[in-house]
Structure formats: structure tokens, C-alpha cells
Structure 1
């Protein structure tokens, strides 16, 4: 890294990424200053650096803190700003679910009906052929689908043909509804089903159902971004090559995804001949949404406001209550917690159970029971966590990890330690207003 880049990064870490939003009623200047220092220290940790960070905290239904650190594009020393869009990985599943639930409200879909007829082919586990797979099963990771045979395909592949051989993507030991196992393929099926029901291409459908009504930028297809959106999309980094598992925290940042400073975004190959409803995985309903922390905050406020945004109804209160209510809770033998990460699930949303020793506690010492989603891909680590009852929430988007997350695990949860430090600092300083 050259001296000019080091200077730029130092300025950002010292607070050049934009002024925080913090009313006096939430916390005093000492808490603000302490939070700035703590977050900057996490980003600039020489042994475990982060390429960039954008965070937001909501207290009692109001945004009380927004801050950015580091770079969205390292080669040109472009900072993370409030406008920066990140590929948020699996938080995209929750956003996709919000769009899906609008179709459920319209009566176009039934959570407990066989999903196969909507897809145009039978969706049955060949080991349990008498059990229908429903949307509720897909949304709660209890469909018995697995990712072993893949979970995304190109424009020339029809999902019907992928499923035709039968067994490779299905669990043999547990049928639909019987066992929780996190599977990205569920959302490829959901995206395809949404296309077939509406006749609209998934990326454009999600703009209509969610992004446009909330006034949000970004989306699931970077080829249709404006020039401004492309310029503000963060490159995702690791200090690790794309084809090696060797990390070097003292080495250069290596682009992993969305390196639009080097090459502009392109449409998925074969998109011009794509038949809508054939294969929704093309737009990654499971992980492909690019959006800013600020706009995720807009989604969070809509949820807190019982489905309303600026006086406009997006979702019904009962829909939101259902989506974030308990649908699956881990008990011995009923699911795979993925080393303690998953203990409770709603519809397309994780439930973070704030109990010692359970593995998915969000903040050190507890006190923040929430729901939402996590994401991790290409160096990005993301968190969307909302307490709808107390109207508090946290958003954290890390643009790149400088060290192997397996070597820097959480101390009280299954999160990466950097993520623990960020969420705990945000909760203590911005939500609780603590300066000590």
C-alpha cells in the first residue's frame, strides 16, 4: 500500500467516513467518541484488518448512528460512504422473503400448499415421495433440499431439468418438515416460483415488490444499475487469493467479487434468451442483493413500523409478526445448528436466541434478543438484527476480511470475532448510550 493510500485510509479510520447521526437523548459525546474509536480499531487491526465497514444503529424506532470506515475500492483509495452498496450475501434471503410475502398477501401463494404445481414440475423428495414440499418448508430450511449438487445455474439451464434426475439434491434421512438444514437451494426454488407466478423476471420483480416502494437503490442485477450505483458498489476483498486457502494479513487486498473499478458489470451470460420462470437462480435470490447499510435501515424501520413506509402500506402487521415468529427451534435431533450458529428460525429469518451457551447471542453479556439474518461470502460479513418489540436494531456490513475467520472465531457466539466486537460496541454505545 502506497503512502497516499495509507494516508487516505488513516483519514477514514480517524472519522472521515461521514458524521454519525446521534441525538443527545440517545448518548452523549463521550459515547459517540468511544464508539468511533472502537469501530476504527477493529477495522485497522494490523493482524486482523477489514477493508471497509458500514454500520447503522436504530434506537426506539429512530436511526441514532451511521458510520463508515475504510475503502470500498482499494486500488483507487475510494472510501466507503453512506451511499456504498454491498453484496450482502444471505441477508438477501430475508429481502427475497419480504417480496414473497407480498405475493402471499395477494392470495397468489399459499405457505402450506404443495409448491410443485407453481413450479410446473413435481417438487418431491424421492426418498419421501408422499410428502409435499411447501413454501413454509422452503422458508424454514426444513424442505430436505441440500446444496450438495449445487444451487445456481446459467440461463440455459432449466430448474425442472436439474430436478429431473431426482436424488442428488435431496436428503435421504429426513423428509420435508422433519429436520432443519440450512440450504441455499431453497431460495433458488423460491425465486423461480415467484417468476412463474407473476411472469416477471426475478430482479425486476423484486424492484417492484420491495425496492421501488421503499425508495431503495441497488438490486439483484448489477447490469441494470445506474452509473452512480455502479460507482458506489463496494468491491469485496480478502487477503487471500481467489484460488487458494492461504491468507496473508500483511499482504495486499485481493478482489473477490464486484471489482467494477477493473471491469464494469455485465448481464448474466445468455440473459437475452432466458425464459422467465425457468431458473430464478440466475439472479441469486439467495445472496445477490446489493444494497447500502442506510437502505437496510429503511427496511428495518418499515418492519418496526408494522409494515408502513412514509404512510404507505408495504406489508400487513400480521404478515411481519408471522415472518419473524418461531417456526423452528432447535431440539436434540431436529436439526443441524452449523456449529452453534442456528437455534431458531422464522419464515426466511433467523431468530437470535439471547441465551448463554446457545451459540447465536449477538452482543457480549446479552440483552439483545432479535431476529433478522446473517451473511458471509467473498470476504463480506453482514448482519441485520432487529428487536421489533423494543424497536432497536443493528446493521453491520464488513467489506472484506484480512485474516482467516476460522483463526479468529467469536468468544461467546458462532460469529467471527470482528463481528462480535462491532455489534457489541454498536449496542452498548448507540442503543444503550453507555460511555463507560
Structure 2
């Protein structure tokens, strides 16, 4: 009986076609699931990106960028990503620490230029590391959009910015911490905050992003929509991209920094955020480009205590995808909800951003975000 053989090139072609068909089927499945998730939570638009074995294997955008003009959302569009922005500030600090320009144990008062002390514990030094890990004992009760709120010379109510526990002995998530940190980046580097991040993080990785609205193409901004549960309707939030030109015109280096919101003001696409995530996944390296040392990248990802999951602008979570330990951060502001989580050992990660949904929360996660992350993991990574 004669044995039938196929030329090698035909076999390779067949395998490629089969692989492509399988990938197409996977993509179709996940896209159907995400569209169902969007429908369930009344989402306006969703952008996603998936990294596997250090490569972006999937990006897609669903729904609308702008409802009023019926403009579809695309992978090139950029969002204000809210609190994931904190990791860009922390990465900048780690670069300056690595360069020997400051220490994580430095008294924050010496860095910022005015007294930062909890009046109930005046002898306890509040360090840079405490600020980065939300263990400074600061709170946002007086706001966080200006440094005046915590400056004893500017606000007679400055003491209300501090909690009742000793710095370093407790945790409270606080946006003021990171707007103060942005100020330190300016004082130490001599560069305006938005320019420092652009020159030392974004440009080296080839990312189209930034904190300064006027440095970006406004046509690429995704409109953000806040959901009103009482009327089941959305309203646009244009202040998310307020250029604040007058404030910038009168900018004071080392003090006006909150104008750019180091705590939440980064504007970037899901795809470019996935590239940035890959750098953290590889402990400071992106495609052979060193952004920071492995030592300092690991410090950002290492929990300060077992009492909470926070490290330094990174969380360590085990319940986003049940049973898996992931590093990353979420964000929410102006109706936007975002997530960037990765596994540095297995070299995979997921980015999900929505510009508006019905924000039902379960165990601290926006349900739409968690459902989308799990769908992407189960279909494209698992």
C-alpha cells in the first residue's frame, strides 16, 4: 500500500490557515462576550488590549467614542485613564532614586519645601515611601487639586488633611499623596512634571500620551460620560480634558503641579498603555530599552504590608481573576473606568478601559471591568 505524503510547504500552509481560523474563532467569541457585557452594563465604549508572552496579541475597540456625533471608538483614541496615572509618577520617582538624586526614606518636608507632619504625631517623619504607598496618614478631606490645602502657611485647616493614626502605621488611599509627589519630581529634576514624564518615559517607549492636554491631538480624545442611576442616563464630562491654559500661563515650578494631575491626568490609548504595562511586566525594560532598574521596578510591585494589597502605585490582587495573583491598578473618574493588570512571571497582562457604563461594584471592582478582564483571560490567555 502506497503511503501518501504532502509537500512540506503545503503542510505549513495548512497549519497556518488552521491557526488563523482558530484565532479568528477565539476573537469572535471574546468580541461577542464583551458586547454582551457592554449591553448588560449599558456601556458606551470599551477599548481592550491583551499581552501574552510579552507580545500584544489582541486589541479592539467597541462602541462609541462620542455619542452626540455617533463617532465609533478606535484603537488610536486616547482616554484620561484616572488613577493608573499614579504609576507613571511612581516610575519617575524610581528613576530619580536610581540616579541617586533622592531616597525613599527622605523626609517629605525636605523635598516639598514646607512642613508635612501629622500634628498628632509631630515627631514621626513622613517619608517619600509612605507617600507612594498611601501610608502617610494623609487624606483628601480638604481636596487635592491645590497644594495650598496642606500648606500650613496657606490653609488654616491644614491639620484636617491628616488622619488619627501614626504615619507608617495605617493605610488610606489618598490622591493628595501623588499630587505632592509630582511636585517633588519637578523640584528634583528641574523639568516641568508633564515634560519629565514625556522625556523619560513616553518618548523612550514610543508612546503617544501625556498629561498636558494641549500637547496632544484633541481629535483623539474619547468623550467620557458620567452615569446617573436615578434617570438611567449619561452626561458628557468635558472637564476631563480641560486645558487649564490660564493656570499653566502662571505656572510656578514645584508648586502648581496639580494642574496636570500626577494622581490621575495621564491621557493614553489602551494599546499604548499595554506597551507601558509590558515594561513593568519585564521589571523596567521595554524591547531592550531600560526605563528603570529591576530592583526599583520590583519595589514598586512589592506589597508594603499584608494588611492591604498596595505597594507603590501598584496593587497585588488575587480576586480580579479568581485564583491568580496579578499586579497593576484600576482607575475611575469622570465616568471612566480602567484597569491594567499583569503577571510578571507568566508574562501576560490585560488592559480594559470604558468611557462610560452603569458602574455596579462587587468586591471593590467595577463589574464591567472585571467581567471583561475575565473574558479576555479565558478566551485569549488561559
TM-score by length of 1: 0.79
Relative distance call for 1:181 and 1:26 in structure 2 (3 A) is farther
The 10-residue stretch of structure 1 (196-205 or 392-401) with the greater mean CA deviation from structure 2 = 196-205
CA distance in 1: counterparts of 2:47 and 2:20, whole angstroms: 23
Relative distance call for 1:24 and 1:375 in structure 2 (3 A) is farther
TM-superposed CA distance for 1:203, in Å, is: 1.2
TM-superposed CA distance for 1:42, in Å, is: 1.6
Q: Partner residue of 1:56? A: 49
CA distance in 1: counterparts of 2:133 and 2:281, whole angstroms: 22
Match 2:280 to one of 299, 303, 310: 303
Q: Partner residue of 1:385? A: 341
Is this contact kept in 2: 1:26–1:59, CA < 8 A?
A: no
TM-superposed CA distance for 1:145, in Å, is: 0.4
CA distance in 1: counterparts of 2:42 and 2:313, whole angstroms: 31
Relative distance call for 1:231 and 1:347 in structure 2 (3 A) is same
Relative distance call for 1:129 and 1:390 in structure 2 (3 A) is same
Relative distance call for 1:128 and 1:157 in structure 2 (3 A) is closer
CA distance in 2: counterparts of 1:119 and 1:274, whole angstroms: 16
Q: Partner residue of 1:17? A: none
Is this contact kept in 1: 2:152–2:158, CA < 8 A?
A: no
Gaps of 5+ in 1: 1-22, 241-245, 331-342, 355-360
TM-superposed CA distance for 1:137, in Å, is: 0.2
TM-superposed CA distance for 1:28, in Å, is: 3.9
Q: Partner residue of 1:417? A: 367
CA distance in 2: counterparts of 1:162 and 1:89, whole angstroms: 27
Is this contact kept in 2: 1:55–1:394, CA < 8 A?
A: yes
CA distance in 2: counterparts of 1:277 and 1:161, whole angstroms: 16
Match 1:170 to one of 137, 143, 162: 162
Is this contact kept in 2: 1:157–1:279, CA < 8 A?
A: no
Match 1:142 to one of 132, 135, 141: 135
1:40-61, CA deviations, whole angstroms, 9 ceiling, x for partnerless residues?
112233xx31111000111121
Q: Partner residue of 1:230? A: 218
1:431 correspondence with 2:373:
no
The 10-residue stretch of structure 1 (91-100 or 143-152) with the greater mean CA deviation from structure 2 = 91-100
CA RMSD of aligned residues (A): 2.2
CA distance in 1: counterparts of 2:21 and 2:174, whole angstroms: 39
1:86-106, CA deviations, whole angstroms, 9 ceiling, x for partnerless residues?
110100011211111111111
CA distance in 1: counterparts of 2:254 and 2:311, whole angstroms: 26
CA distance in 2: counterparts of 1:381 and 1:288, whole angstroms: 13
Relative distance call for 1:164 and 1:206 in structure 2 (3 A) is farther
CA distance in 1: counterparts of 2:274 and 2:230, whole angstroms: 33
TM-superposed CA distance for 1:349, in Å, is: 0.9
Q: Partner residue of 2:9? A: none
CA distance in 2: counterparts of 1:422 and 1:91, whole angstroms: 17
Q: Partner residue of 1:350? A: 315
TM-superposed CA distance for 1:194, in Å, is: 1.1
CA distance in 2: counterparts of 1:271 and 1:259, whole angstroms: 16
Q: Partner residue of 2:26? A: 31
Q: Partner residue of 1:256? A: 237
1:106-140, CA deviations, whole angstroms, 9 ceiling, x for partnerless residues?
11110011111121112111111101111110011
Match 1:128 to one of 121, 127, 139: 121
CA distance in 2: counterparts of 1:384 and 1:374, whole angstroms: 6
Q: Partner residue of 1:284? A: 261
Q: Partner residue of 2:246? A: 269
